[in-house]
Amino acid sequence: MSKMYLAVMCMVFVLACSLRIGLALVNNGEANDNHFRVSYIILTENRIPQRNECEECYHPKLFHVTVAKLWRLLWKQEKVIRDLVTNAQLLNALTGIGTIVLLWIFIHCLPIGTNAKIFSFSLIALNTELIGINAQITNDTFAIFFTTIAMYCLFRYVSQGKVFFLVIMTLSATLAALSKGNALVFFAATVLILLLRILVQGKSRWQMKGGYIVPLLIFVTIFLGVAGTMGGYFQKQSGQGGLEINVTKDPLPPLAGTDNYHFRRLGVTSILNSYFTFRFIDLLKHPRITNGFPAVPGHRTSLWTQLYGRTHFIYFADNPTGLWQADSESILNCGRVIFVLALFPTVLLCWGLLKRAYFWGRALVSWKWNFITQEAFWIFDVFMFSYILFIIVFTLQYRDFCSMKSIYIYPALLAAGYFLAIELNNFYEKFNNRALHIFANIVLTTLLGLYVAVIGNMIYRGALG
């Protein structure tokens, strides 16, 4: 490990931490959803609210209870709302820092080159959407943090067979499910992974160390027993099942065209229009969306355009209010440049996914599954495809465009980091051209610089009040 590599990684880490803490300090309680209300009920009324008492009360309550406990610990007398908000946001900022620490550990141990390690870590650690959610009072940061731990420990368990990692994975996955419902995707993917190991292993299946049947039974029992009951997934109140959210499901969209169903705000209009489009030119023309009823801009009905825009430009969503809305045309122009530059790592990531889809297709046709017992990196394929499938199914059921949030699939952060790191490394090795490497480094460095500049602009505006 060279001193230069360590210095750059430390610099990126410190910068990532500073941006999270800085934004958490200046954000005036603005968030995508009002999770503050849930924690405040727990604090002031000393009880857990029922799922139909407020807009976000349907969520599992680990984050909200933790925040209320923190408030009660720090403020025993008069409770100043501003202080409560700031400390809840700082809790998420510190949790977000924990996530990128684990990401750093994971990427550092990958058998790839220095450039791939630095840029793959930096692109996630400095990602504006991730920094933004780490500075808001929401349960997303907890879900991402615990799922990242669980995914890392599952990787270590599958590769090394140590029971310690199985225990930590089970605990972390359960805590993730007690934080937010999309952790159920991790549960389903993990069950599939362990089942595949059982089917391919052939012998020693029942052993605790080296076998997978007993570990699978333990994981399922603890997860469902704890998360299923304490997380409210088995409850039914006011006609809602435990897996349902605070809006009703929409009818399925047509294959093509636009149906006459008028849901809250235009989102998924048809299968072809929303899942087989990427409106990049329209994205450059309109680098932020409108949150009202008019279907402007047109890319608001394209899932992949929405995910791309939200992932790379914090002002794209134009929500929440205040700091989270662009204040000048120059900021929007920064967004346009970001969208152009971000095509490079995005294409690499998508290319990696396509290659793995082809690999799994060949394995299915040839019925050769020996790779499942020979290495562990294949589990990241399962997680990535599981979360992609989740966002498709989710937006089919809840067709309002607000369902098209990239943050919903950020629990797969570690898997995305793996794919990005591997494909960046493949790029640097396959195209062994110094000029091309310099060009790629300039593109990625500029993109990271704009990430930092956009968040820095938000912190500056917030500090000015």
Give 244-247 contacts, CB < 8 A, sequence gap 24+: 244/58, 245/58, 245/181, 245/398, 246/55, 246/56, 246/58, 247/398, 247/400
Strands 236-237 and 240-241, how do they pair? antiparallel
**Which pLDDT value is given to residue 381?**
98
Q: pTM here?
A: 0.94
Q: Nearest-5° angle of CA 67, CA 71, CA 76?
A: 160
**Which pLDDT value is given to residue 239?**
42
**Which pLDDT value is given to residue 267?**
87
Query: Hey, what's the torsion of the CAs at 359, 365, 366, 367, to 10 degrees?
Result: 90
Query: Hey, what's the torsion of the CAs at 124, 130, 132, 137, to 10 degrees?
Result: -150
Q: What is the pLDDT along the chain (465 residues), one digit of tens a residue?
A: 688 999 999 999 999 999 999 999 999 999 999 999 999 999 999 999 988 888 899 999 999 999 999 998 887 555 677 788 999 999 999 999 999 999 999 999 999 999 999 999 999 999 999 999 999 999 999 999 999 999 999 999 999 989 999 999 999 999 999 999 999 999 999 999 999 998 887 655 555 555 688 899 999 999 999 998 888 887 744 444 445 676 788 889 999 877 756 566 888 989 999 999 999 999 999 999 988 766 678 899 999 999 999 999 999 999 898 899 998 999 999 999 999 999 999 999 999 999 999 999 999 999 899 999 899 999 999 999 999 999 999 999 999 889 999 999 999 999 999 999 999 999 999 998 899 999 999 999 999 999 999 999 999 999 997
% of the chain residues with pLDDT over 70: 92
Taking each helix axis from N to C end, the angle separating 114-125 and 3-26, rounded to the nearest 10 degrees, works out to: 0
Of 138, 144, 154, nearest in space to 175 by CA: 144
Rounded Cα distance between 326 and 266, Å, is 22
Rounded Cα distance between 416 and 207, Å, is 32
Of 67, 171, 256, nearest in space to 163 by CA: 171
**Which pLDDT value is given to residue 97?**
98
